[in-house]
Amino acid sequence: MDFTFSDDQLLFQENVRGFFTNEVTPERIRELWQDESGRSDGLWAQLTDLGLTATTVPEDFGGLDMNELDFVLLAQECGYAGLPEPLVDTMLVGVPLLGALEARSDLTGEWLARIAEGQTRLAVGQPGNPLVADAHVAGLLLLPHGDEVHAVPREQVSLVRNESVDPSRQLFRVQWTPTAATRVAEGEQGRALWAATQNRGALGTAAQLLGLAKRMVDLAVDYSFERKQFGKPVGSFQAVKHLMANVAVQIEFAKGPLYRAAYAVAHNLPEQDVQVSHARLACTEAALLAAKNGIQTHGAMGYTWEVDLQIFMKRAWALDKVWGDRGWHKARIREALFSSAVQPGAGNTF
């Protein structure tokens, strides 16, 4: 299996990285913290101009028809930049779920076209999680009710804000009433849709965590060469080098599982559940280690509000609990391994 990305995929990633470097700065993120909505229509319009709101939308509705493997590099850049806007949730989680509602072509056609044009965002509820991210700026909410999928316009719900450890995350408890009019899938179809959504949500979270890990390493390295002790940059000390080297190794080891999982989801392979959980765990461990070692490299400054490290560290802590925590993903891998009746010489592989 070839995990090499094409020149087009890498060029798109490079262009997105350049845009985020110039436009999604720590200063702009801090400004959004002071805004009541925490979101910027102007920034969303810029993402639209760059083509990002059309990435996973089918061509029939004005999109680029990209799949999960195409988008995973862009999701990494969203994590690296600490992008507050719900681009990953909309494009990697919401759009595929909406597009899979074949029985409601009228609904999907209208909303997918609007998403591609940057006119609206999507918010997706997680089964078992009472909080929905970015429900206040979404034009349409895709919400679970048992095995059912409900498509609910924003004006039909009421929201109660819930604070997050990450000031950039906007979380809400959604109060709404399920009706036959909002139900767009149920039964076996509903269960299958939520299972696929769980994988895409975990995949997008893993990609962002990997980007966050890389950003925290870069911040710690830069700081270690600015800060001096005994007349030398602290980054020249072996103990500090080891802290960053350990994270760098974790990041490299996490890339393979992440890209393999993206391929499995994009091609709907039967082993995608295990591969997504593997990627989620590997990327989470890298991000949490980057946060821990980044704080140590910064010293006492690492705990302060003024240092940019906290922007990305808090995002990693928050995403650790999104679309299944580590315990849930470990349990899924364990169940797959021990329920497979592996026999010596039977040719079973994982």
Domains of the chain, residue spans: 189-337
Please state, in angstroms and rounded to a whole number, the distance separating the CA atoms of residues 135 and 15.
29
Phi, psi of 159 (to 5 degrees): -125, 145
In angstroms, the CA 319 to CA 158 distance is 25
Q: Mean pLDDT in the chain? A: 91
pTM for this structure?
Answer: 0.92
- What is the mean predicted confidence (pLDDT) over 223-242? 56
Whether the pLDDT of residue 347 is over 70: the answer is no
Buried (b) or exposed (e) across 191-225, using 16+ Cβ within 10 A? bebbebbbbbbbbbbbbbbbbbbbbbbebbbebbe
The rounded Cα 310 to chain-centroid distance in angstroms is 18
Please report the pLDDT score of residue 155 as a whole number.
96
At the second CATH level, the architecture of 189-337 is Up-down Bundle (1.20)
Comparison of pLDDT for 218 and 229, the residue scoring more: 218
The pLDDT assigned to 2 comes to: 64
d(CA 131, CA 172): 5
DSSP assignment of 24-41? S-HHHHHHHHTSSS---H
Distance between CA atoms of residues 240 and 221, nearest Å: 9
Whose tokens are 């070839």? That residue is 2
pLDDT of residue 283 exceeding 50: yes
Q: Which helix (H) or strand (E) holds 185?
A: strand 183-185
CA dihedral 72, 74, 78, 79 (to 10 degrees): 40
Provide the pLDDT for residue 238.
55
What letter does residue 5 receive in the DSSP assignment?
P
